[in-house]
Amino acid sequence: MDATEPGLGDTGRDGAHLPEHVRRNRQLWDSRQGAWFGKRARAQWAAEPHWGVWRIPQAELPVFPDDLAGRDLIDLGCGTGYVCAWAARAGARPVGIDNSERQLATARAMQHDFGLEFPLLHGNAERVPYPDASFDIAISEHGAIGWCDPYRWIPEAARLLRPGGELVFVRNSTLLTLCVPESGAAAARLRRPQFGLYRVESEDGTAVNFQLPHGPMVRLLRDSGFVLEDLLEVQAPENASTEYDYVDLEWARQWPSAEVWKARRSPR
């Protein structure tokens, strides 16, 4: 199957077949636009690989595996496609999938401006139109990991990976999720219980996020056929800055605001 064929993504369909949280998040991301997104996409595409809200260089926060050359990689919730662009420049064969046509439109514009091409699919990362064992690496930087149901997308990532393939994701830490208010920055105060943490909705109902605490996440990875290899708890570098308002440097110097999880698909 060639997933670049028209019709394999969700383009041209009304989305009625999608799970409710996917429909809501599609509406949200399709409504997010404006100069900030375009400017950020261009800056990300132009830059060397770096990660998360603190923009930590790959040399200091090794999210990509060492050798990307010749490897098939899928970015689940690719947004404006810059992770795929970085992977392509390192010799990988990337594919991006995203739920938002608007994000993908920006990604396509960047492909044109930077002279790089790779397949971009419009669809739900919980159900990807590629055959089993199509990829060596599945990655998500605040994409599927924050916006898809983990009980759907992690088994789907396992299906997409070849035996020995690598799953890497960068997400907000569970501690940050516990401390972050509806608007504004996290403070040194727990605002929600950890037990039962899973689906987190914004008060206005426009966003549905997911955050599994460590125990359930470890069990889900194991039950999906992964072996957990590393969990990097990210401390913001001294003097780092961020454009996001939900965490500040003082907080992120003391507690991990983000986590990088690395797991390997065990042989079938």
- Positions in the binding site for ligand SAM (CB under 6 A): 22, 25, 29, 77, 79-80, 83, 97-100, 103, 124-126, 141-144, 147-148
Position closest to ligand SAM via CB: 79
Nearer to ligand SAM, 116 or 266 (CB): 116
The token duo for 2 is 């060639």
Cβ 82 to ligand SAM shortest distance, Å: 7
Nearer to ligand SAM, 27 or 266 (CB): 27
Cβ 5 to ligand SAM shortest distance, Å: 19
In sequence order, what are the beta bridge partners of 152?
none
Residue holding tokens 């590629």?
130
Cβ 121 to ligand SAM shortest distance, Å: 9
Nearest to 77 by CA among 6, 17, 13, 21: 21
Q: Is the dihedral of CA 85, 155, 98, 192 positive or negative?
A: negative
Distance CA 72, CA 137 (A): 6
Helix (H) or strand (E) run with residue 233 in it: strand 226-234
Cβ 107 to ligand SAM shortest distance, Å: 9
CA-based end-to-end distance of the chain:
22
Nearer to ligand SAM, 84 or 263 (CB): 84
Cβ 87 to ligand SAM shortest distance, Å: 12
The letter for the amino acid at 228 is: L
Nearer to ligand SAM, 83 or 221 (CB): 83
Cβ 69 to ligand SAM shortest distance, Å: 22
The token duo for 15 is 């989305």
Nearer to ligand SAM, 54 or 147 (CB): 147
State whether residue 262 is helix, strand or coil: strand
Nearer to ligand SAM, 32 or 227 (CB): 32
